[in-house]
Structure 1
């Protein structure tokens, strides 16, 4: 694969001169861990029982982590994976996820993390666009046959040479191909592991994010862009080698990837992975492993706080819970502080940058309720009007950022990079910045709904609804939800003489192989749509009607 990370070279000299790029890769960090603390527990993976088999807990010391990374790396090379080849990984928070990334980094391959909720429609585009050479999936997870789906897709993906199955028993199993044979002891192993190690500006991660184009965009990151975020992030939170991180947020998201996979290794700390969110298990892990920090979206915080309060089981080692993805209700901050005894940190970020703003540990709680934090070191923010002119404090406008952790660009789509000659990146969000430099996200110019921290690609769902033979017009808009932040509502105008209801709409989208989390959970049927003179649907009016209807208890239309 030829990567067009055009945003990296122009800013390299400045970033290095300012000390914001560290020219250090995850290989350097792992090697340092193996040398400094080889027998320290690096990773504890808690696999919940999900109907596919008994749960289990697996542990790796740093010595074992390094050895297994080398083993899998040589195994990938035996499958024909080399420098700049893409290895797609659609796994839950299992130890294999972490090891696949470390192995890719050993041989200069690029990991493409994929959410386990994706199905044929999303995967076929991403795997083809990224020219993935290897796809690693579970045999089954939460009742779904991933092996069957992956092998079914392979015929239409000419670049996909190998499907590897975790938990499989055949010749294509993860154990048979990668983790079982002692590849690291082969005569040529040292040569394989050294000949293509990536540099700090090489693309190391390809991760897809939904946007306004209706198709996912492939975000390219290097070691320098990710490390430039992880280091100040950990410093602001006071995290170090003595900390234990709990990561139950999916590692196929930037949250889990950067702060559950990479950060513990950078800090020589320890991580506990949990594959299925269950607050009672989280409490057990926090107390058994001495977890001091975790990061997740608002529903996780709500569930954990409620369960701790109801069970009467305290979590005294937990010092901080960083919550991002949606504003944190004031009542939840109060409840969480009382139940958990931990500092609740508010944050905002993007796949393209990682975390951008965080509240500080010594901030008053109101800052976490009313703001999304202030910029990390190496990040500049400004709010501008429609003409690009800076707005004064407190006024809402387009949010631009200039960051040391800004991505290298969108794969094969440089026209969407959204970064000007002065390195200002248009976030697509509306925000205001107060007189102390704290930010509050006020809305989105991008047409994306965030449901429990998961972006719903609105344009793509709408385009599918227009293929429904019963629908003449369709719009998907957000409505507020106490637990998830937002949910999706489909607003439709039926064709003359046709009818549509929510069950049939859901069945239609399921038949189109849409991820379940993307399917609207509410339906409003209208005779007409509010629109501009040019015919564009005025979604803000639909959102306002939804909000008024919810407040009054009356139908929205």
Structure 2
């Protein structure tokens, strides 16, 4: 039961879970399987190894790794010594990764030789460490060796001897135990400091609402470096005595095969994955094992998609949360109606508070739309940037940047956003970061980026670009320029609209609310922008 982990630092989770669940299977990856006891022993040995490398309590460790058993062992081992893992979403490019490396100043760096296709993260990180760190920290590979890098020890009983002498685990569930990065209205990704107490509360709601139990089997769909993937694909199963299986990279055919082979019952992730699964199951027709439950957050999940899943025998519940709330703060019950699960974003957790404010910061009555603020044990201690913390946290309240409605009986419905961010399939990016990158092009005078709806990803960026006088710009050239700068592929606008000018106020400020109207005009009359 998840309650058994209440009050514990994540460093004590491996030992506690091993004592509770013993030789039950915990995790598999298609080639290897580990029980709770085996996972505990391996992470204990790697914890001693980290300690011998000089990593200590409170030290940040940058991790750029694909979903793997080795990643989870490395995380558990770092937690055992009280270090602070900083896993980075693998979709980030050199641009974002450089910002994060400079900000984190890691005590060690971890990556993988394989699992990234043609991308050479070892060379990337070598360059970033030389550029942004005053001295080179220990550099670790989860799956091999390269010059200047050392391999993480294998499991006990393997070719590499592992010292299983215990390392003292931290005992405070209010210490920072995880550093994740998210984009808000500022350009650079912001470091978010999560605690064991907040993460535990974010897990507990799934058990309280009857969504998961020890009989369930999970699967990684989202990256384990993202709060959604970490919570729904591993931490929940770890605490419940359930099991989970690793899908290294999303491809719907591979996912469906793994679901059938491992008898997966539950997955969590954005609407992108649910859309792909529904399309596949509708195409192939009945037969074979399918998932039976899914929670969907991040990009808003349309009611029609939840209804499609229901017709396929898949229970889907919309949930609400984010990195700054340690995951989910509202979720339906397993017994909630289809209407509740498809049109609302969950029932507020009993230990969370939400207030809805008007433009002047005054509280609004239930049922009235306004700015969403959250308080409770879920809410993180803040950002690594004190100015960003001061801007969004006040007296325990976190300004989510979302707009919504809270009913008198605690149901939450998100209706919009106040921040200038793109939510593409659950990954959030600052429009300003994309705008700054486009504006660095020598032939660009100015640029503005807004979110436009997308059937699969929920939202994608759309860029309005004003060329310098006399310059000629082509969308293909702009996209290639951004990729060459190392911008994450997910940030590359799906549309580049070349315009003579942008709608502005009397003071010269770009009027973002008018940009979507301009887009409609350009789609009807392609020459209207010139």
Pick from 198, 201, 217 the counterpart of residue 225 of structure 1: 198
For 1:499 and 1:348, the matched residues in 2 are separated by 44
Q: 1:81 aligns with which of 55, 76, 79?
A: 55
SS in 1 for 2:324: coil
Mapped contact 1:21–1:228 kept (Cα < 8 A)? no
Matches within 5 A, 1:26-175: 26-46=10-30, 57-140=31-114, 141-156=116-131, 157-158=133-134, 160-170=136-146, 175=151
CA shift at 1:328, angstroms? 2.0
- SS, match of residue 321 in structure 1: strand
**Residue-pair matches, total:** 521
Moved more, 515-524 or 390-399: 390-399
The residue number in structure 2 matching 1:12 is none
Deviation at 1:174, TM superposition (A): 5.7
User: Unaligned regions of 5+ residues in structure 2, if any?
Assistant: none
Aligned to 1:349: 321
Which has the higher mean CA deviation after the structures are superposed, 176-185 or 315-324? 176-185
Matches within 5 A, 1:395-410: 395-410=368-383
Task: Indicate the residue corresponding to 1:184 in structure 2.
Answer: 163
3-state SS of 2:441 partner? coil
- 1:329 pairs with 2:302: yes
Partners of 1:368 and 1:346 in 2: CA distance: 6
Please say if residues 11 and 77 of structure 2, whose CA atoms lie closer than 8 Å, have aligned partners that are also in contact. no
Pair 492,164 (structure 1): closer, same or farther in 2 beyond 3 Å: same
The residue correspondences of 1:413-492 to structure 2 (distance < 5 A) are 413=386, 415-418=388-391, 422-492=395-465
Q: Map 1:269-348 onto structure 2 (within 5 A).
A: 269-312=242-285, 314=287, 316=289, 318-339=291-312, 341-348=313-320
TM-score by length of 1: 0.88
1:274 CA drift (Å):
0.7
Residue 366 of structure 1 deviates from its aligned partner by 2.1
With the length of structure 2 as denominator, give the TM-score of the two structures: 0.92
User: How large is the RMSD of aligned CA atoms in angstroms?
Assistant: 2.3
Instruction: Report the secondary structure of 1:429's partner residue.
Output: strand
Q: 1:20 to 1:538 in 2, by over 3 A?
A: farther
With over 3 angstroms needed to count, the CA separation of the structure-2 counterparts of 1:553 and 1:350, relative to structure 1, is farther
Change (3 A) 1:177 1:462: same
Residues of 1 paired with 2:497 and 2:394: CA distance? 44
Given the alignment of the two structures, is residue 507 of structure 1 paired with residue 475 of structure 2, yes or no?
no
1-side partners of 2:236 and 2:522: how far apart? 44
1:111 CA displacement: 0.4
Query: CA 1:295–1:315 in 2, change beyond 3 Å: closer, same or farther?
Result: farther
Between the aligned partners of 1:283 and 1:360, the Cα distance in structure 2 is: 26
Distance in 1 (alpha carbons) for counterparts of 2:478 and 2:460: 16
Contact 2:256 2:290 in 1 (8 A): no
Residue 555 of structure 1 deviates from its aligned partner by: 7.5
1:518 and 1:129 mapped to 2: Cα distance?
21
Structure 1 residues 20 and 485 mapped into 2: Cα distance closer, same or farther (>3 Å)?
farther
Following TM superposition, by how much is the alpha carbon of 1:435 offset from its aligned partner in structure 2, in angstroms? 4.4
* Deviation of the 1:254 alpha carbon: 0.5
Please identify, of 274-283 and 27-36, the stretch whose mean Cα deviation from structure 2 is larger. Answer: 27-36
| Maintained 8 Å contact 2:138/2:149 | no
| 1:267 paired residue number | 240
Specify the SS of the correspondent of 2:184. Answer: coil
Q: Per-residue deviation at 1:501?
A: 1.3
CA contact (8 A) 1:327 1:369 kept: no
SS of 1:167's partner is coil
